[in-house]
Each structure stands twice: as structure tokens, then as C-alpha cells.
Amino acid sequence: MTTSGPAVAAPDLVGGRGELSQAVVDALRSGRVPARATGSVAGSVPGADPWGEDLQLALYLLYELHYRGFAGVPDEREWDPDLLRLRRDLESVVLDALRSALHDAPQTVDAAFAPLLVEPVDLTGSVSHYLERQGELWQLREYAALRSLYHLKEADPHLWVVPRLSGRAKAAMAAIEYDEFGAGRADRIHATLFAGLMTDLGLDATYGTYLDRAPAPLLATVNLMSLFGLHRALRGALVGHFACLEVTSSPGSRRLANAMRRCGAGPAAERFYTEHVEADAVHEQVVRREVIGGLLAGEPGLEADIAFGCTATLLLEDRLGRHVRASWDRGASALRSPLTGHPYSTSPETPP
């Protein structure tokens, strides 16, 4: 079956979730600078909850200007100096929170990646284990809607690191990315495969459709890779982030493929994850030996940054996993509003 890729049109803007995100929305809609850019909005940034809905949505909206932008928003706003200043302030809050939370985290690559090479004992936050063993179809649909904000742009932010690498690291990273983008075949681009998964699950595969439903823990995981990707100074952290995803992808994808098969989700839904089982097992070895190894051979001072990228990824993925499991355990949707077909939904499928 040939699946159509994600729609190329820019998504619509969503409503704000607080003062910061509403200021960004208003600025993008009006074409003006963020309201009170040097006043109450800017002043509220340092005290904002780094993991809250408001800050994470504001940051996501600003990052999205570097991807597809938004309908009705001129492309030139990508480099609007007032928006960039606000983005810098928001990033500082997030980076400070990450570094504070990870102050005693491993500083070496071996120590940071060691926990990923063994099966965890505590599975209370593991979504893939839950879905494989007892997940229901409505939960698979929710999980796909959540992850669509990442998978429909999969590999894009990691590509930003290629011009910042050299030698072995550049060659290996480019080779992995070539696979991620379909190895020359448009129908095998991983974002296209995920669009097919969404279609099999009865979801809308249009890029950005589920942004308004995405909770802060999900936005934070997507924002992290944009944060690392857009800053050359954080190239080591981006490599650590990418390596962490590749190391954990193959076993997680095997469990999710089993879940899709068990629930009868459809061939395209199953195919997306089976594709990742084999491909990412190979990528894991390449990224650890050639990307990380090559980068450290040329820039050994980046080791702590690579470790930071890995541990920050694990921290935010754990936060997301626990949010999803806690929601499902109490019979609630992990989204900000449930999809049609949620067993506890009493309203039609509309954004909150």
C-alpha cells in the first residue's frame, strides 16, 4: 500500500494557554511584536513554570517558525528579533531547570548510556510495555496523536547538526539521516510511514492537527530536540539526544509493533514500528561508534554535553510516560481533550 505523506500546508495557529503563549499567538496573528515585550510578559518569564502548559506552548510556537510556520504568518517572522529575544528568555528558563534537575547526573558517555543497555526493573512509567501487554485501541490512537508532533517531523531537527560535524561523525550522521528520510524513496520517509500509521488508526495525519490537544509533557519532549538543534553550542547535546533515541528505539518499537498487531490496528500501523526495529538496531551501533566516537575524537570537550543530551532526554521522556500512564490508570485521556472513541468521552472530537 502506498501512503500519502503529511500535508505540506502550514498548520493553523492555536489559542494560548496563558500570558506567555497568548502573547506569542497575538504577535503572530497581528504581525506586531509580542505585547509588552519588555514589560509584564518579559518580566513573567523568569518565574514561569518551565514545564507548564503556558511556557511550553509559547516555546513550541516559536520553534515551529523554523519548521513549517503557521497559516497566515509571514515566513519572515522566523527571524523576527523580538520573537527571538523572547525565545532566548524562554530557553534560558528551560535550560536552567534541566541543569538543576540533572546536577548530579553522569558526566561521561559511558555512565550516561549504561542504564539504557539493560531492561529496567520499574515499568510503572513505561508506555510501550503497557501497550504491548494490555493497551486498548483507543490508547494506541491517543499515543499516536501525541507522538505525531514528533514523528511527523522525525529526523528534521537532527539534520541541523550535520554541518556542525566533521569527518567520521558527519559521514555517519548523514548515513543515518539518509535512512530516516527514506533512502531516496519518498514513500519510505519515516514521517510518511507514520502518516500511514495514523490513517490506519482513523486519525487525521495532517501536520500539526493535534497540537491543541498535546499536553505540556509532550510539548517538552519535542521542544528539547528543537532547542538542541537550533544552537551550535548545543551540538553535543543534540548528538546525545539522538543517540538516546536510537539506543532505546528498537526494543520499544518491537513492543509497539506487537501492540498494533494484537489490537488489529492495521498493516501500516504495524509497519511503522517493524521498520524501526531493524533499522534502529543498526543505527544504534553506528551512532555510538561513529557519530559519538568521531565527535569525541575531534572534540573531547563535548563529552559532558553528550551525556547531558542523553540524560535530559530520559528525564523528559520519563515525565511524559508517567503523565500518560497516570492519565490512563485513572480512566482519563492523556490528551487535553479525548478523541472520538475514548470510552469516557461524552463530547464530540473537538479541540479543548
Q: Where are the domains of the chain?
A: 19-101, 109-329
Residue 37 has pLDDT above 50, yes or no: no
Residue 3 pLDDT > 60: no
Residue 238 has pLDDT above 60, yes or no: yes
Mean pLDDT, to the nearest integer, of 264-283? 85
Q: State the pLDDT at residue 284.
A: 81
Confidence band for 348, pLDDT divided at 50, 70 and 90: very low
Answer yes or no: are the C-beta atoms of 344 and 338 closer than 8 Å: yes
Average pLDDT over residues 314-336: 96
Higher pLDDT, 351 or 83: 83
User: Is pLDDT at 15 greater than 90 in this prediction?
Assistant: yes
Least Cα distance to 218 among 291, 148, 278, 305 occurs for: 148
CA atoms within 13 A on the CB side of 69: 13
pLDDT score recorded for residue 9: 83
Kindly report the number of other CB atoms within 10 A of residue 245's CB atom. Answer: 21
Which helix or strand (DSSP H or E) is residue 65 part of?
none
Q: Among 131-135, 204-208, 340-344, which is the least confidently predicted range?
A: 340-344
Model confidence, pTM: 0.91
pLDDT band at 71 (very low <50, low <70, confident <90, very high): very high
The Cα 335–Cα 256 span in angstroms is 19
Q: What is the pLDDT of residue 152?
A: 95
Range 42-57 average pLDDT: 88
* The pLDDT of residue 11 is above 50: yes
pLDDT digits (tens, 9 = 90+) for 160-185: 999 999 999 999 999 999 988 999 99
Residue 1 pLDDT exceeds 90: no
Minimal CA–CA distance to 56: which of 211, 245, 208, 237? 211
With beta carbons less than 8 A apart as the criterion, state whether 60 and 13 touch: no
The beta strand positions in the chain, using DSSP E, are none
Dist CA 220 CA 94 (whole Å): 9
CATH 3.40.50.300 fits 109-329, yes or no: no
Q: What is the pLDDT of residues 81-128, one digit of tens each?
A: 999 999 999 999 999 999 999 999 999 999 999 988 776 545 566 899
pLDDT at 223 over 90: yes
**pLDDT of the residue at 283:** 80
Residue 55 has pLDDT above 70, yes or no: yes
